[in-house]
């Protein structure tokens, strides 16, 4: 493994051996969940060290995190607790706190992931949360950690004209259920955290094409979400078994929102069964499906200035006196997730894009109808921009990029695409990393950081 083959890959090996090959000051955000030192079977790592050895190991990892982060870069350290005795616990955030201080990290926030389910206990209350400490690498006085709340605003419980049009700050208690056994997001890894957690972190602390990293990649959740949002990613995984599963999982995910959402539209409306279709047939089907291919038709439902404001993500354009009606109109088009209401989107354009977003990004279910409209409008604008230089040429580039980025799903031959499989379940009983059909393709570290 050399410095030239890390980007957009999950590398197999010990993170302490791989980390030094990551350039200094190159990573915008790290999100990881280290081993808890509670004798879990991680298929390749000893999860029961004496406390001193465990802390030495964690300090070495944190030192590499500090070195590789950009000034102002963020480290989201997700932990639970460890134990020396069966009945008593030691919170890992408490145990490791002095290490972060020693290395110079600054604590910006303490996030609680509150979930349902979990292992029941008889001698104490059932554990239903984990802690995520948001640490920041300090920089120059004019360098601050990035935080953008807009793309992660969530729906409010009640409509109040004083509220933000797109939703509220989600706060630092995140109620997200654990990954259900047997779901599409589950692998054989024993500690898969929800994509919504990583998605909030990626959207709020990074920009498109930033580089993110997970030194304990496990099931590959953070890398998968980063790829779907158009970020570059690096993952390290010591277990050949989990590495093989996570590489396969990444191959089933397209790169960026344009391709990820388009892929879901193709799976729902174009590739109903496994088969091969030419670029022209795909183009005709999608363009007909997305007709009228413009949001101008919605100005009969939403005032033109407010339609423009929704598309641009502008909150201050809409008058307080008009907010309630606008919210109600938007809910007619895009009913809240989990309700029995059906969409009254007579054009179908926005609701088709919205459904695809829901399938790609689980966080989308927490959004308000206004935010979901914004994302649909943004996606359509990006597609229109890619077709502006010529529809046929534009679609050829888009479909080629899709097949090349989601190699586990699509196979490209000249001007045709074959869908390999509609299977999404990721548990693999026996897999060797070197035997995967679709090797990971990436930019080199030299190309990205030059």
**Separation of CA 230 from chain center:** 9
Residues 214 and 291 in one domain: no
Residue finishing a domain among 201, 228, 252: 252
Over 80: is that where the pLDDT of 183 sits? no
* 3 in a structural domain: no
Exposed/middle/buried for residue 450 (C-beta within 10 Å: 0-12, 13-18, 19+): exposed
Q: Which residue pairs from 50-53 have beta carbons closer than 8 angstroms and sit at least 24 positions apart in sequence?
A: 51/84, 51/95
Measure the CA–CA gap between 115 and 113, rounded to whole angstroms.
6
- pLDDT the model gives residue 440: 52
* 444 in a structural domain: no
Residues 188 and 173 in one domain: yes
- pLDDT the model gives residue 151: 97
Measure the CA–CA gap between 156 and 61, rounded to whole angstroms.
39
Print the SS3 string covering the chain.
Answer: CCCCCCCCEEEECCHHHHHHHCCCCCEEEEEECCCCCCCCCCCCCCCCCCHHHHHHHHHHHHHHHHHHEEEEEEEEEEECEECCCCCCCEEHHHHHHHHHHHHCCEEEEEEEEECCCCCCCCCCCCCCEEEEEEEECCCCCCCCCCCCCHHHCECCCCCCCCCCCCCECCCCEEECCCCCCCCCCCCCCCCCCCHHHHHHHHHHHCCCCCEEEECCCCCCHHHHHHHHCCCEEEEEECCHHHHHHHHHHHHCCCCHHHHHHHHHHHHHHHCCCCCEEEHHHHHHHHHHHCCCCCCHHHHHCCCHHHHHHHHHCCCCCCCHHHHHHHHHHHHHHCCCCCCCCCCCCCCCHHHHHHHHHHHHCHHHHHCCHHHHHHHHHHHHHHHHHHHCCCHHHHHHHHHHHHHHHCCCCEEEECCEEEECCCCCCCCCCCCCHHHCCCCCCCCCHHHHHC
Buried b (16+ CB within 10 A) or exposed e, 204-235: bbbeeebbbbbbbbbbbbbbbbbbbbbbbbbb
For residue range 134-157, what is the model confidence (pLDDT) as tens digits? Answer: 999 998 655 578 999 999 999 998
Residues 198 and 288 in one domain: no
- Report CA-CA distances (Å) from 311 to 166, 211, 299, 307, 356: 11, 27, 12, 6, 18
- pLDDT the model gives residue 43: 58
* 67 in a structural domain: yes
- Report CA-CA distances (Å) from 225 to 8, 361, 409: 12, 8, 17
Question: Considering Cα of 42, then 44, then 46, then 52, what sign does the dihedral take?
Answer: negative
Average pLDDT over residues 364-381: 97
For residue range 209-260, what is the model confidence (pLDDT) as tens digits? Answer: 999 999 999 889 999 999 999 999 999 999 998 899 999 999 999 999 999 9
User: pLDDT grade, residue 383 (50/70/90)?
Assistant: very high
Residues 304 and 358 in one domain: yes
Residue finishing a domain among 207, 225, 252: 252
* 272 in a structural domain: yes
| Helix pair angle (391-405, 256-265), 10° resolution | 90
Average pLDDT over residues 108-131: 84
* 326 in a structural domain: yes
Residues 248 and 309 in one domain: no
Over 90: is that where the pLDDT of 197 sits? yes
* 432 in a structural domain: no
> Average per-residue pLDDT in the chain?
87
Among 117-126, 380-389, 421-430, the range with the most confident prediction by mean pLDDT is 380-389
Residues 231 and 273 in one domain: no
User: pLDDT grade, residue 442 (50/70/90)?
Assistant: very low
Residues 219 and 312 in one domain: no
User: pLDDT grade, residue 443 (50/70/90)?
Assistant: very low
* 430 in a structural domain: no
CATH number at residue 121: 3.40.50.150
User: pLDDT grade, residue 344 (50/70/90)?
Assistant: confident
Exposed/middle/buried for residue 297 (C-beta within 10 Å: 0-12, 13-18, 19+): middle
Measure the CA–CA gap between 247 and 11, rounded to whole angstroms.
9
Structure tokens at 215: 């030194």
Print the domain residue range for 151: 9-252
Domain count across the chain: 2
Residues 269 and 399 in one domain: yes
Residues 188 and 335 in one domain: no
Residue finishing a domain among 252, 282, 301: 252
Residues 24 and 100 in one domain: yes
Residues 181 and 217 in one domain: yes
Residues 360 and 307 in one domain: yes
- pLDDT the model gives residue 422: 63
Average pLDDT over residues 36-56: 70
The pairing of beta strand 416-419 with beta strand 410-413:
antiparallel
> What percent of the chain clears pLDDT 70, i.e. is strictly above it?
84
* 206 in a structural domain: yes
């Amino acid at each position: 493994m050399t410095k030239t083959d890390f980007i957009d890959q999950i590398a197999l090996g010990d993170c302490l051996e791989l980390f030094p090959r990551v350039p200094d000051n190159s990573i915008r955000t790290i999100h990881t969940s280290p081993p808890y030192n509670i004798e879990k079977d991680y298929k390749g790592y000893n999860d029961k060290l004496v406390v001193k050895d465990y802390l030495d190991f964690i300090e070495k990892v944190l030192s590499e995190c500090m070195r590789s982060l950009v000034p102002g870069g963020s480290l989201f350290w997700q932990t639970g607790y460890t134990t020396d005795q069966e009945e008593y616990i030691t919170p890992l955030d408490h145990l490791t706190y002095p290490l972060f201080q020693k290395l110079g990290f600054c604590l910006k926030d303490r996030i609680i992931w509150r979930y349902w389910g979990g292992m029941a206990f008889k001698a104490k209350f059932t554990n239903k949360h984990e802690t995520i400490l948001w640490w920041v690498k300090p920089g120059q006085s004019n360098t601050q950690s990035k935080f953008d709340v807009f793309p992660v605003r969530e729906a409010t419980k009640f409509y109040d004209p004083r509220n933000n049009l797109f939703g509220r700050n989600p706060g630092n208690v995140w109620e997200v259920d654990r990954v259900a056994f047997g779901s599409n997001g589950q692998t054989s890894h024993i500690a898969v955290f929800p994509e919504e957690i990583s998605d909030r972190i990626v959207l709020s602390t990074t920009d498109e094409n930033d580089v993110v990293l997970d030194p304990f990649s496990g099931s590959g959740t953070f890398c998968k979400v980063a790829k779907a949002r158009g970020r570059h990613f690096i993952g390290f995984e010591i277990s050949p078994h989990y590495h093989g599963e996570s590489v396969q999982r990444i191959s089933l995910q397209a790169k960026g929102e344009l391709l990820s959402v388009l892929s879901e539209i193709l799976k729902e409306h174009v590739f109903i069964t496994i088969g091969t279709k030419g670029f022209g047939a795909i183009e005709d089907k999608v363009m007909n499906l997305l007709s009228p291919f413009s949001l101008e038709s919605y100005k009969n439902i939403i005032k033109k200035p407010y339609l423009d404001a929704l598309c641009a993500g502008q909150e201050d354009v809409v008058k307080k006196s008009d907010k309630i009606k606008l919210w109600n109109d938007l809910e007619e088009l895009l009913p809240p997730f989990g309700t029995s209401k059906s969409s009254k989107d007579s054009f179908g354009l926005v609701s088709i894009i919205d459904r695809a977003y829901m399938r790609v990004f689980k966080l989308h279910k927490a959004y308000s109808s206004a935010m979901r409209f914004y994302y649909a409008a943004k996606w359509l604008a990006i597609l229109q921009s890619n077709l502006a230089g010529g529809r046929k040429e534009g679609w050829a580039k888009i479909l080629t990029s899709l097949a090349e980025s989601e190699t586990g799903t699509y196979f490209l031959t000249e001007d045709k695409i074959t869908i390999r499989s509609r299977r999404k379940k990721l548990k693999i009983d026996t897999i060797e990393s070197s035997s995967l059909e679709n090797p990971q393709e990436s930019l080199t570290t030299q190309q990205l950081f030059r």
